[in-house]
Amino acid sequence: MDRYSRQTLFAPIGEKGQRTLQKKHVLIIGVGTLGTLSSESLVRAGVGKVTIVDRDYVEWSNLQRQHLFTEQDATERLPKVIAAERRLTAINSEVEIVAHILDVTPVELEWLVDGVDLILDATDNFDIRMMMNDIAMKYNIPWIYGSCVGSYGVSYTIRRQQTPCLHCILGKIPIGGPTCDTAGIIQPAASQVVIHQTTEALKILTGNEAALRGTFISFDVWQNEMVSMKVDKMKKHDCPSCGEGATYPFLTFDEQTKSAVLCGRNAVQIRPPTLQERNLQRTASSLEKVSEKIELNPFLLSCTIGEERLVLFKDGRALIHGTNDTDYAKTLYHRYLS
């Protein structure tokens, strides 16, 4: 126990809490900025089993803020979960690390959550977050939401029956907000989100639920702002995700982002779960720093990024030209247009 001596000296955890921690299983979905930081923190703390899931590979732009990765990983375009697994095992060989290279859908979530004590959100889009929310509510697994962009971050701990779920709070998937690829991000903002997420995680995993924060926290590390909001009154007893007679809508096909290869066109169509009118001018402004060419008319927005051309229609549909890979097309959609 010498390895964890400083942690066991902390009275709320102690040796009993440490032994409890070593029997727990945490699922982390996403191994980017938040996922690398949180997985390293929990592995160093001695969580018994950590499962990491991500569909992407390491790129040079990741190295500015994503821990665990090296220049060699970016050169080899190593899958993120493989690079992370190697590093995490080197940090603490006592922890069982399970790595999955996956594009997460409700099908994968059904078996990924088997035996899991806690889910950590480290994703980059609300499509997957709402699926996570529904699967966590379905199987009564606590999960911790976290998100950041620019210098701004948010976090909230969700437990069925005790708190509103993400569906209660949001109502529907947000459309058209800034992303790290359009507005940038600084590493301290991500670190702050992870500090809140992993602290709450340790409380849950060691049986200290009474110490949970209980509020939705948001902050801007650049503007020196922080807000902690009570959201208990937002819980909806008829919420389809966590209320009485829940139907878990985001685990159904109707509520998922859909993709289809366009025959003979080297393009993929992406259709969001709900068609909504998009502000094309605002989207064009957000893409100015990353797109080589932007064309705009009253009906659609076309932008060129690298070797791909992305076309967004007013109803939220998009055509990703230059690829027939639906997973890659989804990545570009969530990265720039979601």
Catalytic residue IDs:
180
Q: Is 242 exposed, middle or buried (0-12, 13-18, 19+ CB in 10 A)?
A: buried
Q: Which of 81, 16, 9 is nearest to 50 (CA)?
A: 81
Which residues are CB-contacts of 29 (< 8 A; sequence separation ≥ 6)? 35, 53, 54, 104, 112, 119, 120, 121, 122, 123, 128, 132
Q: CA-CA distances (angstroms) from residue 169 to 74, 165, 227?
A: 37, 7, 16
CA pair distance 133, 167, nearest whole angstrom: 8
User: In the sheet where 118-121 sits, what is the strand order?
Assistant: 96-101, 49-54, 25-29, 118-121, 143-149, 152-158, 216-220, 225-229
Q: How far is CA 288 from CA 59, 84, 104, 145, 214, in A?
A: 22, 33, 30, 29, 39
| DSSP secondary structure string for all residues of 158-217 | E-TTTS--HHHHHSS---S---HHHH-B-HHHHHHHHHHHHHHHHHHHTT-GGG---SEE
